[in-house]
Structure 1
């Protein structure tokens, strides 16, 4: 069996510390937005089943059986559990970014001010 032929790629990403902090915060914000959309979709599932979603008033309480509600509840519970785990990860990520900002803001990052756009860190 032959070994795969992997090209030698050594990209150089040249960003300032300030830019990297901004990118990290943006990624956290985008993930939070995604989770908000997931939570909204779960709320719409509940509203649809209960007939309170504005465009779906054709369902009545008589057409909903308890097993439907239990099934929906379990589905929403599982989704919320996964969202909660992701929120905890994002909180940890944000905490790390705050620490990075705090250290760099006080000039502890290799003696440079984080706001100095001329000094660049090469992240490889």
Structure 2
């Protein structure tokens, strides 16, 4: 078994990944709890129809109580995780202002009596650094 590959991520990307993981875990827990709720509804129907004895219903209730402890504990851990991520997000300094610029070039030429025209547009952004008042150009 090989070691897992850990992608190189910045702090903000890592925190975003944590938020996504929290959302996915919450979704999984919701599906799990919904399945338990459907079981409870089925047992309630069976109880109304007289298909289960009170002892069987009590056994089922104890079983549900034990099963539901795990998602409740997980919810508490996810709440702590979410609070920590939100605290870290508040500590991240804001992104520097970004200005998007573009250059458009049009070229025309005649070849064997036919005029050809082509246009290309390039977009790039300029990151303005407030501390040094320098401009750094990053083309993307």
TM-score by length of structure 1 reads 0.66
Unaligned runs of 5+ in 2: 98-126, 128-140
- The answer for the alignment partner of 1:42 in structure 2 is 36
- The answer for the alignment partner of 1:21 in structure 2 is 15
- The answer for the alignment partner of 1:102 in structure 2 is 90
1:72 aligns with 2:60: yes
Classify the secondary structure of the residue corresponding to 1:94.
Answer: helix
- The answer for the alignment partner of 2:80 in structure 1 is 92
Following TM superposition, where does structure 1 have runs of at least 4 consecutive aligned residues deviating by more than 3 angstroms? Answer: 9-12, 113-116
Larger proportion of strand: 2
Give the root-mean-square deviation of aligned CA atoms. 2.8
CA distance in 2, matches of 1:10, 1:41: 33
Classify the secondary structure of the residue corresponding to 1:24.
Answer: helix
Offset at 1:36?
A: 0.4
CA distance in 2, matches of 1:10, 1:59: 50
1:75/1:99 CA distance change after superposition, 3 Å: same
1:10/1:74 CA distance change after superposition, 3 Å: closer
Matched residue count: 98
Offset at 1:10?
A: 9.4
Larger proportion of helix: 1
Unaligned runs of 5+ in 1: 1-5, 52-57, 108-112, 119-124
TM-score by length of structure 2 reads 0.59
Offset at 1:62?
A: 1.5
